Structure 1
Amino acid sequence: MTENLINYYGPILNRYNLKADFIEEFGKVKKVYTKNGVFALKTISAKRALEFPTIIRKLYKSGYTKIVPIHATVDNHFLTLFDNKYHYLMPWYSNELGEERDDRHQLLFKELARLHSYSSKEFEVVEQEISEHHRFHIEQWDRRKEFLESFITKCENKWYMSPFELQFCSIYHDTVQGSNFAYMKLEEWYEQMKETKKNRTVLNHGKVSVRHFLFDKNGSGYFCNLEDSKVGTPVNDLVLFFYRTLHTYPIQSYDCFEWLSTYRKYYPLKEEELLLFLSYMAFPEPIYRCVYKYENSKNSMSERQFVASLQRAYWQMKNIEFFLTTIVEDERRRKAQEELELNQEENQSHT
């Protein structure tokens, strides 16, 4: 097997003046052992290959260098085409920290804040653009809300509900509460944006994960797997990360809040950005998708599997609820403290 890999990838490695002694497969990444060191050879889709070199160059130009270095070929290209596939080569960095420390999430969010900070751009937005964004989400959420309302009405009109339908009825009230909170925060965002009429964009990593945050031998962290990077609101990276992280068994952990606090320490979110984050996170999209699939693709899974899927979506929603409640309570305390200090300063100035 190893000999076959060496023979297949040999022509690619020749373009880097390298010869493999041994190759291990890790999905799209190949760990290549050579006399010149250990390297990671990764395959990238043709679609991503078009933008990927530009993204890397822009990051370096902005001064941001905490990405796993990409080796150029002998003819100075980031990517090499072989067998109708694109590939690029990096040094092999570990996903592990030393045994004496395990603060990878804190390091990840500090570095994510730096990535966003280096690529941050602020610009004026017209009210029409704000209104269009607001209307797009309201209309999309209204359709989802109406679908769930019609589904529960259908369930309640039955003499005998299926296990899935019965379970959905038991969690529907919590689903409505999550939806209402999302609507409320989106309205607050809308009013705030109409006043400020300013927006910020950053280069989003696209797949923020501890698996995509690697360490060199000195323990310094670097991002990899930036093929899905896109310019957008910083909220996008945060929502995708926390959505995945909170898709688990019921937990009441302050870890997510602490990671977000680390991020905000190095790249403070504006009030309207935090409102958008709260809104995006709160809407019960996983519940909707699960019910929609049950109604439209019943043969794709068994009743038992659908019930388990709905249970996981509910757990995720409750985990998100705890996370967002912690953020809101902390914001309330912070603003109360700021108001108290301001009043004390005013009283001192009058004495």
Structure 2
Amino acid sequence: MANYDEIKVFVETHYDLAVESVTPITHKSMKVRASNHDYLLKVASGDDDFIMKQLFAYKALSRNVLPIYRTKDNQHYVPWRDHFFYLTDYVQTIPLPLEQQIHYYIELLGKLHSETSLEVDVSDDELQRIYNKDYKRLQDSYDCLQKNMEVYELQRDRSPFEWYFMMVYPMLYTMLHHAHDELKKFYDLIKREKKLPISLIHGDVNVANLLVTEKSTYLINFEKSMFSISSLDMYYFLENYHQVPGLHSIILDYVKNEKAAALRHYFFFRSLCIDLDELNQTLQDHSLINIALLNECIAPHLMALQVYNQFNKPTTTNQASPQGSST
């Protein structure tokens, strides 16, 4: 960013403010004290489309998304030095345990998805195109799984990694089998209803994008947000935070509380469809350390499988035994 004098002139030129101080925070943000209020001057990553997404999110969740202040020319951002700059509020955050941050984050994601939910018409041709893309992801993983298994079975001197891969093969196959079932259920529902449920998703699921203050919580950084299937945010959450204690219960609660069956099916498809083709590219060297890397890659999908089995577990009812007549 520019120096203090340049920032002062920039803010006072474009906003009706008298700058008192400027404090660098990161290379893309500065705290600006002006007119007895703390603001944050930020560089938008990407183009001005990001600003529109944040404004849309602010309209849906005005209490949980920071405002973007208009300039003197009634604009939401200012192009300067090949970047887009915008002014929002600076808030003082409080430290919280990671588990509590996750609860707040998921709560805000649920609000965002609910308040921006839409059902868009989708033609059979468009639906088939989307299905083919998802099915290819699944088929590539299945082909990779089978190819590796066939190669390892024919080898006499197997490495520990290859032995381990053969050991987890049934579990990986089960994941892909269930992923295929869930994908088919999702698209059967969409094809029957001719409607695709979408919402504004955050797209950059990271607790660093959550601000918690004494009075409120805020979602920030909407650079990667888009209108898509809301289940993707929960899949990204599972992928990033599967190691956090208690996340299994959080994901299970999400699945149980999701009213739209189509969104549940898509969540299970994405979370069970482990990308073995991409994984195979990173594990060419079958050393011992790659067993740990393979485990780390499998871990979020394994949690999804556990949630899947628990959610789909048949319920049993205790039947009362017939009461015989006493004699």
- Per the shorter chain, which TM-score range? 0.7 to 0.9
8 Å contact from structure 1 (residues 70, 88) kept in 2: yes
Q: Structure 1, residues 86-127: CA drift from partner, whole Å, max 9, x if none?
A: 22222122443689xx85444433332222222222234333
Closer, same or farther in 2 for the Cα pair 1:271/1:147, shift >3 Å? same
2:156 matched to 1:159? yes
Q: What amino acid is the match of 2:116? A: S
Structure 1: gaps (5+ residues) = 338-351
What amino acid is aligned across from residue 260 of structure 2 in structure 1? K
Conservation of the 8 A alpha-carbon contact between 2:28 and 2:43: yes
- Distance change (3 Å), C-alpha of 1:11 and 1:228: farther
Residue number in structure 2 paired with 1:79:
77
Matches within 5 A, 1:89-100: 89-96=87-94
Aligned to 1:23: 23
Displacement of 1:181: 0.8
Counterpart check, 1:228 vs 2:218: no
Residues 63 and 181 of structure 1: CA distance in aligned 2, closer, same or farther (over 3 Å):
closer
Q: Does 1:215 align with 2:212?
A: yes
The RMSD of aligned alpha carbons is 3.4
Deviates more, 1:16-25 or 1:200-209: 16-25
Residue from 193, 210, 221 that aligns with 1:196 = 193
Cα distance per residue 1:171-222 (max 9 Å; x no partner): 222111111110111122233333323222211122233322223442x222
Q: In structure 2, what residue type is equivalent to 1:291?
A: N
Q: Percent identity?
A: 18
Alpha-carbon contact 2:48-2:84 (below 8 Å) kept: no
TM-score by length of 2: 0.80
Q: Which amino acid aligns with 2:112?
A: L
Alignment partners' CA distance in 2, 1:192 and 1:183: 14
Q: Which amino acid aligns with 2:211?
A: L
Structure 1 CA distance for aligned equivalents of residues 32 and 288 of structure 2: 44
Per the alignment, residue 114 of structure 2 pairs with 117
For 1:252 and 1:54, the matched residues in 2 are separated by 32
Q: 1:320 aligns with which of 278, 288, 304?
A: 304
Contact 2:58 2:65 in 1 (8 A): no
Per-residue deviation, 1:63: 7.2
* Separation of aligned partners in 2, 1:244 and 1:62: 26
1:38 correspondence with 2:42: no
Write 1 or 2 for the structure with the bigger share of helix. 1
Determine if contact 1:95/1:213 at 8 Å carries over to the other structure.
no
2:273 is matched with: 283
Letter in 1 for 2:82: N
The answer for unaligned runs of 5 or more in structure 2 is 318-327
Per-residue CA distance 1:240-267 (angstroms, 9 max, x = gap): 2222121x38988423323555xx4xxx
> In structure 2, do the counterparts of structure 1 residues 95 and 166 end up closer, same or farther at CA, with 3 Å as the change threshold?
farther
1:283 to 1:250, Cα distance in 2 relative to 1, 3 A? farther
Equivalences, count:
315
Moved more, 121-130 or 249-258: 249-258
In 1: Cα distance, 2:234 partner to 2:247 partner:
19
- Measured at CA, do residues 250 and 11 of structure 1 come closer, stay the same or move farther in structure 2, by a change above 3 Å? same
Name the CA distance, whole Å, in 1 between partners of 2:211 and 2:185: 38
Per-residue deviation at 1:51? 0.8
TM-score normalised according to structure 1 size: 0.76
SS at match of 1:206: coil
Contact 2:119 2:196 in 1 (8 A): yes
Distance (Å, rounded) in 2 between the aligned partners of 1:304 and 1:92: 48
The letter for the 1-side match of 2:259 is: L
Q: Measured at CA, do residues 228 and 253 of structure 1 come closer, stay the same or move farther in structure 2, by a change above 3 Å?
A: closer
Of 226, 233, 236, the match for 1:237: 233
CA displacement at 1:315 relative to structure 2: 2.4
The answer to whether the 8 A contact 1:5-1:23 is kept is: no
Q: 1:270 aligns with which of 238, 260, 273?
A: 260
Deviations 1:300-347 (A, max 9, x none): xx9455343212112233222223333334xx55xx89xxxxxxxxxx
